[in-house]
Structure 1
């Protein structure tokens, strides 16, 4: 703490300079309905409501709608009034209180037309510009895009210059969109994946993309709209609806049935909305892995990735209500999920004495009931902001899983994936299978279980601004509770093969586990922000200092009771049959003393930190700015562990600390023609090994993997640095983004593996190791060209290098294993739009080059190639044809069954009726039946190639009906 006080005092002394004797007011003037800048308005400035104050116009930027007026410093209350013939007057009240805060961002003055008359409808034809840039905000005019009748918002977003829409994730100019908003309001907040299938495109006026400020941002210091602290970006896409659609009802229903395997889909959605509220309800039932949720945006959105197949039934409610300064919103979602996930794996485990080859096959079925409820209340006063956020998350799951594994001394040659396991686990397979010759162990595992969790959180945050200094104080309080349970029966069978000295022998293990964990937590945070923001007519130097203190309390209670029965047999042929968990008799089981325990861990942590931020602006009207941020944080934590296990009943306590600095530098130039961003970040983190390592206990509940704690671990230290350069041309709409990063970890905690070839048992112990580092680089370029920018070209080039170091050995002496992985990638895409039709081609190449100096290592040179084409044709009579064809080629992998070439073809035929409200659509997915999902990883301990089951091909007929009811206009 003394360090922080000393540093703070030094910086305060440096900033003790003569304060400005002038003030600068920065503001904009906009028409309220159409949101266009108003020119040639007259302005008057008053002191204490009556005394007119002379001012000097420093600059007027019509493109960014920014006015800058200079006037003499005098503390007190001021009123800025705007007038123009044909508009109602607008005014903004503000206060000048401190000489160190005389740069005044007043926001926007909104003016209304003073008179409106109902005129007969007229057809107006105008030229619409697709995209304009206003400061840091990109604005797209929806009327400038040619869409087919009945098009939804996703069709509009797909045409936006610089935008990418893939799997519900939106990216604009290389930046991911974290949230999609409607009229500036959240819906189902917190889910970055947004689907855009239900909001009709004709309801959209324009779309804005910008860096979303925090809810209390209006209380925090800015300089001409620029953040002093250079806070992290939170990019959002804000869909602004036409005024005619600001009140009414919106809804849709959809049904679908497909073959083979009785594929089905049913969805219903309804929403009522007005200027102050939105209320939405939805239901979604299907077995085609559609996990979208309806929201008060009028869209189906969100969803989550799920391996395998999925049968899901879900429904929910989403609401928002705002009145004056208060706003409340939230959502409730109830889901019933039945995923079925199958994995087939091919592994190579590296050892200097000879690699171990492994095949695995698992199948898991779950039945989940999941309730999520999250709500938020916000109140924005003139000088204070408050929010309250309660939430609850409950999940209950019944699951079954079965897995087969085998380890070999030589790589088995298979005709198809996991052929060796099918052979070895067949009746009499141990005696007759050709794969038994090089077999070390064959392991089967069958488990039935029930698990659940409940998570409850309550958070309260407040920001208070002091008018006299424009400093602010932030206070946050959070409380949380979590309970997890997992109860299961497990049946384990192991047989040793011909390559093992224990050939013919084996064992069975039957287990019953009962695990309960409870967590209680509380957090308190208080910080004070001191602002230095005087008006400077020339180059401007601005700063803020934020000292802060955080306190965290957590208590973790765990109880694990494990019963078991262990049986050994000498004749593998007699004991090789799996016993299902349902056949286990609990009364025959006894307590496994080595894996039954109770623990109570209490943590108290206090974290003093201080943040320094500096902003340099060449002049008050300059588009350029430079940010520098430094954060210094010290975590001091006291831990107390009460642990009871068999012969061990101990009480441990310790006090630990770690220092974490971060540095961020950013340069921005929001020029009229070109916008430039340059940013670099550095962070240093020091992690503390878990206190459980000090126990020196052993966990052997899994007979094939024994885990040993290590009391002698040192703290890992990680250095991370990254840099980003981006250039956007506002008129040509092209952009280039360069990114590079580097990370290094000293004293990394590796799970050192000691392998017993005779038994197939791995003993794991955490050990410190040095030498792990990685780097990543990418270059992205987007360019529209042709008449009306009909063509869009994109290229992305990537390179990564990972130096992975780990321990693996078959002897008591640990041996380092080092592997270098170089991955190079290139992606190309070209799209073309003519009228309401669109066409596209794309391709990508990824090359993995894996090298190691260790003896016996088989170097890898593998290629993943994809190529594809897509087309959307909007034909007369409201017919639409959509199709895409993709090639996936893999070569160079050690398991030849993973070297494949697959063609994936999807197609859709749709007919729209009733002015786009009724749609019949026939979808064909994976027409050629060649979808394959394969994942590949390489590190210092081995390489893994995994196949995961995916949605099988099907054909489905959909019927979709959409409605939009608006209130009738009152007769004048």
Structure 2
């Protein structure tokens, strides 16, 4: 049925492509920019003048243009002229406040399939300096232009001293996760841009934490054309979903500097410095910081933070970096890159009490861990690109180096009955006379100390090229590159395992692991774009990947030496105690071939792209262990008739004076198939019992996994401060690769193997609504509603030889509701988040449960007299429905910031208080189908901090 539908679609596409051609006409396309900043001039009048001086045609330039799903920041004009007549034309362009510009155009020597020619940019020079006009009106917080969602930063009331993260978190329809990931109307933002330019690669957190919200003019969200799409003028499959932060005019030329420092209770401190230099052709940013806060909360925010989000461990961070983006030759040549240095130290003390829900009866794990991790990382990236009329080239390189020094100590015990009082000291001394009663029900006890030092080097280089042919508008693109990774780790392990009441250790080992790993990857691809007309093309492509990975592990049993030496250092003669049976060397090789044909069609209302793909995998593994050699060869293929498909239908058009007719509603269907091959190491017929409590066994064969991802999105893009996006999704995984296990209830030993399982899927409905209303647009309502059902299968066995399939079914209903009322410079917000879940299983002994979480509260940002400001939030976090009363909690959290500004806003003094009512604890609870968990950490979420911010801006005297 699917093949029939795609076949009919392909025939219709060919018919449409033939009928869409403009017979007898030739397209000339050009752009109008202002000369000083080399930026597009929206609404400039352009006239096409014939040989006799008569105006043949005229139009106004557009601001943002769209070809299919490619949206570009250009000010474009288009004229159609006869293709069978060689003649000369004059292009005249003028705009209010600028001197007119002219260009002579000669139409000759056309190719038989040449459909259009792109003209050089016309630059207009400003004739006089216009006076700025201040317009006072009700602030519209967000609106649409074409497929672009724009937020007006000045319409949001923020606390003094707020950074970009506070502003972004307040945007209707936007979610900011704790790790810096951003979602807009349920869609993941792949890149965070600054004035249309990449900033520190994909590290959103650097811009969110360091750029002051006071400098932001507006924020645009749209699908950005990739470099190839920009070059060819149509969607080449390299677009990404971006959030573009645009600065105010006064910060777009010169220096902007922001400094902040402070200290607080619980020995907390922070300091940071950020500088940004901007010109129309360049952007350079510097930053540096030091802190031990390890907390992303900001008083007065409506965020997704919950008590479970309290960070684990005492963390200290030192970092510095530089980012640059420089344009040459009227922005046709660009050089961009960045370099960062980060040193992080993390000390954590974590205790975990886990109830394992098993068919034969529950078991109880008590685990206590102390860890110190020190990581030093240096990253640098450079990209050079140049674009001409018929050629585009790009060279990029990346080098990352990481050094780590880790140490930890671990104490754990498993019982077949629950213990009311347990701690690390009891587990460490449980076989002493003082703790005889605590040994009842003891299954096993393990003690372990680890010291691990190592480094990782990652180097990458790639060259890409694209060509446009002058006579037929076809395109040829290719790229090749490689990546080299080197990692070396030295690991010392000292551990002891006891079973039951036996005080004599069943397993005691002092080990050293030397683990050198190296790998390299070579990649190349080539594609040819055959353009049928301006709306349709076919592009066959071929991708080749060659990968080699050497992974070795040498195990030395130091306890067999007469002198073991000091733990963490190598004693003399350690080479003599190499454990051959549990040491291995391996070489993995993979040659992957991918062939695809990309077919694309676009009209004003309807566009689609279909990409059938064939994957051919040629894999081998040479594995040597214990004097034996194991060879695993695997040759498979995966065919996807519509591995990447996207269709969009636009309707409900509305006219715009500059944009022309633009759609205010759209319907988009996407279907993606992604194959994944198993790890060949799981197919090696060996038994790995280095960890006696977790034994790994190889299996004979595994199938490829295939993930199907289908999404249907309906979007209403009203220009009247109303937005609604409805998303339906279905994800199913065929032959899902999973690690199942058999559990010995007497000893607590798990035997782990790999399996393919079916019946794994999840489907959801997500609706995001944003609405600004009221006579003065003073109210903003935001709603994110989601219903999700999942069906996940794994393999679990208890006291049996072969695990059996176990399925867990979940229902989730969530609602995130926010209502903000802004009156002048005062803002009050209400928040209510509801999460309801229903969990069931196919296991007969499984007890289904239903639970709900309700978080509700109020926020406020107030401008007080005498340059004071107050921002605060009060939230109740409530959990109900759990069988264990310890999980049914209510936490009332109050945070506040008092600020004072001085010297015309350059200085901001802030006093922050977190968890003022002292209702949070360092204990968190979690539950799922397999276990119930209680976790204790060494973090106290209550503290206060006094910090001061200084900012200034240096603008050039002459512009």
Smaller-chain TM-score bracket = 0.7 to 0.9
Supply the distance in 2 between the matched residues of 1:181 and 1:305 (Cα, whole angstroms).
29
**2-side partners of 1:95 and 1:405: how far apart?**
81
Q: Is the 8 A contact 1:925 1:954 kept in 2?
A: yes
Partner of 1:296: none
Q: Aligned-pair distance for 1:914? A: 0.8
Of 321-330 and 153-162, more deviation after overlay is shown by 153-162
Residue segments in structure 1 that go unaligned for 5+ positions in a row: 293-303, 535-541, 568-578, 618-624
CA distance in 1, matches of 2:885, 2:184: 39
1:938 counterpart residue number? 928
1:85-484 equivalences in 2 (<5 Å): 87-90=98-101, 97=110, 102=115, 111-116=124-129, 124-127=134-137, 130=140, 131-140=142-151, 171-193=183-205, 195-196=207-208, 199=211, 203-222=215-234, 227=235, 232-242=239-249, 244-260=250-266, 262-289=267-294, 307-324=312-329, 325-410=332-417, 412=418, 414=420, 419=422, 423-426=426-429, 432=435, 434-484=437-487
Show CA shifts across 1:75-130 (max 9, x none): 7786533246753224576979457664778798664432348x8xx874554763
Q: Is the 8 A contact 1:230 1:629 kept in 2?
A: no
Bigger shift: 669-678 or 30-39? Answer: 30-39
* SS of residue paired to 2:957: coil
CA shift in 2, pair 1:123/1:551, >3 Å: closer
SS in 1 for 2:23: coil
- Structure 2 distance, partners of 1:430, 1:611, is 74
**Pair 323,433 (structure 1): closer, same or farther in 2 beyond 3 Å:** farther
Q: Give the Cα separation in 1 of the matches to 2:712 and 2:606.
A: 15
> Aligned partners of 2:737 and 2:168: how far apart in 1?
45
Give 1:946 shift. 4.9
Distance 2:572 2:444 in 1: 28
Offset of residue 140 of structure 1: 4.9
- Aligned with 1:487: secondary structure? strand
Conserved? CA contact 1:179–1:193, under 8 Å? no
The 2-side partners of 1:777 and 1:7 are apart by 29
Could you say which residue in structure 1 is the equivalent of 2:579? 592
* Alpha-carbon distance between aligned partners in 2 of 1:353 and 1:359, rounded to the nearest angstrom: 19
Checking the alignment, whether the CA contact within 8 Å between 1:20 and 1:99 is kept in structure 2 is: no
SS in 2 for 1:858: coil
SS of the equivalent of 1:672 reads strand
Residue 726 (structure 2) aligns with:
738
Within 5 A, what are the aligned runs for 1:813-962? 813-893=802-882, 896-929=885-918, 930=920, 932=922, 934=924, 936=926, 938=928, 946=935, 950=939, 952-962=941-951
How far apart, in 1, do the equivalents of 2:159 and 2:941 lie? Answer: 31
Cα drift, residue 784 of structure 1: 1.5
Aligned-pair CA distance for 1:37? 6.8
Counterpart mapping for 1:707-722 below 5 A: 707-722=696-711
Equivalent residue number for residue 757 of structure 2: 769
CA distance in 2, matches of 1:40, 1:452: 57
2:85 corresponds to 1:82 = no
Of the candidates 680, 697, 701, which is equivalent to residue 686 of structure 2?
Answer: 697
1:647-726 matches, within 5 Å, as 647-660=627-640, 661-669=643-651, 671-672=653-654, 675-726=664-715
Q: Please give the secondary structure, in 1, of the residue aligned with 2:371.
A: strand
TM-score, structure 2 length as denominator?
0.85
Q: Is the 8 A contact 2:30 2:77 kept in 1?
A: yes
Residue 859 to residue 170, structure 1, CA distance change in 2 (3 Å): closer
Quick check: 2:161–2:949 contact (8 Å CA) kept in 1? no
Native 8 Å contact 1:658 1:687 kept in 2? no
Contact 2:32 2:61 in 1 (8 A): no
Distance 1:427 1:806, change over 3 A: closer
Distance 1:257 1:951 in 2: 16
List per-residue Cα deviations over 1:340-390 (Å, max 9, x = no partner).
Answer: 234443434454333433233323210111101111112121222111111
Task: Please list the CA deviations of residues 766-806 of structure 1 after superposition, one character each: whole Å capped at 9, or x if unmatched.
Answer: 12232222222222222212233211112222222222222
Q: Distance in 2 between matches of 1:108 and 1:126?
A: 35
Q: How does 1:531-680 map to 2 (within 5 A)?
A: 531-534=531-534, 542-564=535-557, 581-582=567-568, 590-617=577-604, 625-660=605-640, 661-669=643-651, 671-672=653-654, 675-680=664-669
- Gaps spanning 5+ residues in structure 2: where? 66-74, 298-308, 656-662
CA 1:556–1:884: 2 relative to 1, 3 Å: same
Are residues 28 and 943 of structure 1, via their aligned partners in 2, closer, same or farther at CA, if it must alter by over 3 Å? farther
CA distance, structure 1, for counterparts of residue 753 and residue 791 of structure 2? 21
Number of residue pairs aligned between Structure 1 and Structure 2: 908
- 2:230 match: secondary structure: helix
Give 1:43's match in structure 2, choosing from 17, 35, 47: 47
Report the 3-state secondary structure (helix = DSSP H, G, I; strand = E; otherwise coil) of the residue aligned with 2:776: helix
Go from structure 1 to structure 2 and tell me whether the alpha carbon gap of 1:897 and 1:581 turns closer, same or farther (over 3 Å shift).
farther
Contact 1:904 1:931 in 2 (8 A): no
2:83 is aligned to 73
Question: Which residue in 2 is equivalent to 1:575?
Answer: none
Q: For the structure 1 residues 429 and 459, does the alpha-carbon distance in structure 2 shift closer, same or farther, using more than 3 Å as the test? A: farther
Deviation for aligned residue 1:306: 6.6
Corresponding residue SS for 1:671: strand
Report if aligned partners of 2:412, 2:427 keep a CA contact under 8 Å in 1.
no
> Which deviates more, 669-678 or 91-100?
91-100
What SS does structure 1 have at the residue aligned with 2:225?
coil
SS in 2 for 1:788: coil
Q: Please, what TM-score do these two structures have when normalized by structure 1? A: 0.84
User: Partners of 1:430 and 1:104 in 2: how far apart?
Assistant: 91
CA–CA distance in structure 1, aligned partners of residues 170 and 694 of structure 2: 53
For 1:799-832, what per-residue CA distance to the aligned partner results, in whole angstroms no more than 9, with x for missing partners?
A: 2222222222211133222221222222211111
How much has 1:430 moved relative to structure 2?
7.7
How far residue 239 of structure 1 moved from its aligned partner, in angstroms, is 0.2
Contact kept, 8 Å, 2:48 with 2:89, in 1: the verdict is no
Shift in Å, 1:392: 0.8
- Equivalent-residue separation in structure 2 for 1:203 and 1:688 (angstroms): 48
Structure-2 change in CA distance of 1:608 and 1:487 (3 Å): same
Calculate the aligned-residue CA RMSD, in Å. Answer: 3.9
Deviation at 1:250, TM superposition (A): 1.9
Corresponding residue SS for 2:226: coil
CA distance in 1, matches of 2:585, 2:482: 24
8 A Cα contact 2:33 2:123, kept in partner = yes
Bigger mean CA deviation after superposition, 193-202 or 316-325: 193-202
Find the residue that maps to 1:493 and give its secondary structure: strand
- Which moved further from structure 2: 795-804 or 350-359? 350-359
Evaluate the alpha carbon distance shift between residue 812 and residue 459 of structure 1 in structure 2; reply closer, same or farther with a 3 A threshold: same
Q: Are the counterparts in 2 of residues 694 and 710 from structure 1 also a CA contact under 8 Å?
A: yes
Structure 1: distance between partners of 2:712 and 2:901: 48
Rounded Cα–Cα distance in structure 1 between residues aligned with 2:121 and 2:378: 42
Whole-Å Cα distance in 1 between the matches of residues 295 and 326 of structure 2? 29
Partner of 1:621: none
Offset at 1:477? 1.4
Counterparts of 2:711 and 2:106 in 1: how far apart (Å)?
41
Determine the C-alpha separation between the residues in 1 that align with 2:619 and 2:176: 47
Query: Map of 1:773-788 to 2, 5 A cutoff?
Result: 773-788=761-776
Partners of 1:180 and 1:238 within 8 A in 2: yes
